[in-house]
Structure 1
Amino acid sequence: MTVPFGVATGTTALSGELTVPADARGVVAFAHGSGSSRRSPRNVAVARSLQDQRLATLLFDLLTAEEGSRDAATGELRFDIGLLAGRLVTAVDQLNGAATTRTLPLGLFGASTGAAAALVAAARRPELVKAVVSRGGRPDLAGAALTDVECPTLLIVGGQDSQVLRLNEQAARRLAGPCELEVVPGATHLFEEPGALEQVSDLAAGWFTRHL
Structure 2
Amino acid sequence: MDRQASDVTIPPLGLGGVFARPDPGANVVVFAHGQRQRAVQPPQPLRLEALRRAGLGTLLFDLLLPEEAEDRRKVFDIPLLAHRLAQATEWLHSAHGAGGAVPVGYFGASTGAGAALLAAAEHPAAVRAVVSRGGRPDLAGVEALGRVRAPTLLIVGSLDPEVLALNREAAAQLGAEAEVRVVQGASHLFEEAGTLEAVVVHARDWFVPRIGRERGQP
Q: Same fold (TM over 0.5)?
A: yes
CA-CA distance at 1:26 after TM superposition: 1.5
Gaps of at least 5 residues in structure 2 are: 212-218
Bigger drift between 93-102 and 193-202 goes to: 93-102
CA-CA distance at 1:3 after TM superposition: 1.8
Q: What is the TM-score of this pair, normalised by structure 1?
A: 0.91
**Residue 216 of structure 2 corresponds to which residue in structure 1?**
none
Q: Secondary structure at the match of 1:76?
A: helix
CA-CA distance at 1:105 after TM superposition: 1.4
* Counterpart residue identity of residue 59, structure 1: L
Cα distance per residue 1:150-204 (max 9 Å; x no partner): 1100000001100000000000000000011100011000011110000000010
Q: How many residues align?
A: 205
Residue 161 of structure 1 contacts residue 188 of structure 1 at CA under 8 Å; is this kept in 2? yes
Among residues 87, 91, 97, which one is paired with 1:90 in the alignment? 87
Q: How far, CA to CA, are the matches of 1:106 and 1:135 in structure 2?
A: 17
**Residue 214 of structure 2 corresponds to which residue in structure 1?**
none
Q: How far, CA to CA, are the matches of 1:166 and 1:78 in structure 2?
A: 22
Q: Secondary structure at the match of 2:75?
A: coil
Residue 106 of structure 1 contacts residue 128 of structure 1 at CA under 8 Å; is this kept in 2? yes
Residue 25 of structure 1 contacts residue 105 of structure 1 at CA under 8 Å; is this kept in 2? no
* Counterpart residue identity of residue 88, structure 1: L
CA-CA distance at 1:52 after TM superposition: 1.2
CA-CA distance at 1:32 after TM superposition: 1.1
**Residue 66 of structure 1 corresponds to which residue in structure 2?**
67
Q: Secondary structure at the match of 2:182?
A: strand
Q: Secondary structure at the match of 1:104?
A: coil
Bigger share in helix: 1
Among residues 66, 75, 78, which one is paired with 1:78 in the alignment? 75
Q: Secondary structure at the match of 1:166?
A: helix
Q: Secondary structure at the match of 2:159?
A: coil
**Residue 16 of structure 1 corresponds to which residue in structure 2?**
17
| RMSD, aligned α-carbons | 1.5
Gaps of at least 5 residues in structure 1 are: none
Q: What is the TM-score of this pair, normalised by structure 2?
A: 0.89
CA-CA distance at 1:24 after TM superposition: 4.4
**Residue 171 of structure 1 corresponds to which residue in structure 2?**
170
Matched, 1:2 2:1: no
**Residue 51 of structure 1 corresponds to which residue in structure 2?**
52
Among residues 130, 134, 158, which one is paired with 1:136 in the alignment? 134
CA-CA distance at 1:28 after TM superposition: 0.5
Q: Secondary structure at the match of 1:31?
A: strand
Bigger drift between 112-121 and 94-103 goes to: 94-103
**Residue 105 of structure 2 corresponds to which residue in structure 1?**
107
Name the % identity.
48
Matched, 1:151 2:150: yes
Q: Secondary structure at the match of 2:64?
A: coil
Q: How far, CA to CA, are the matches of 1:44 and 1:80 in structure 2?
A: 27
**Residue 38 of structure 2 corresponds to which residue in structure 1?**
38
Bigger drift between 20-29 and 131-140 goes to: 20-29
Cα distance per residue 1:7-30 (max 9 Å; x no partner): 113xx2100110111254320110
Cα distance per residue 1:53-109 (max 9 Å; x no partner): 1110000001111112x32xxx22111101111100100111122363525311000
Q: How far, CA to CA, are the matches of 1:112 and 1:23 in structure 2?
A: 31
Q: Secondary structure at the match of 2:187?
A: coil
* Counterpart residue identity of residue 168, structure 2: E
Call closer, same or farther: CA 1:166–1:59 in 2, change over 3 Å. Answer: same
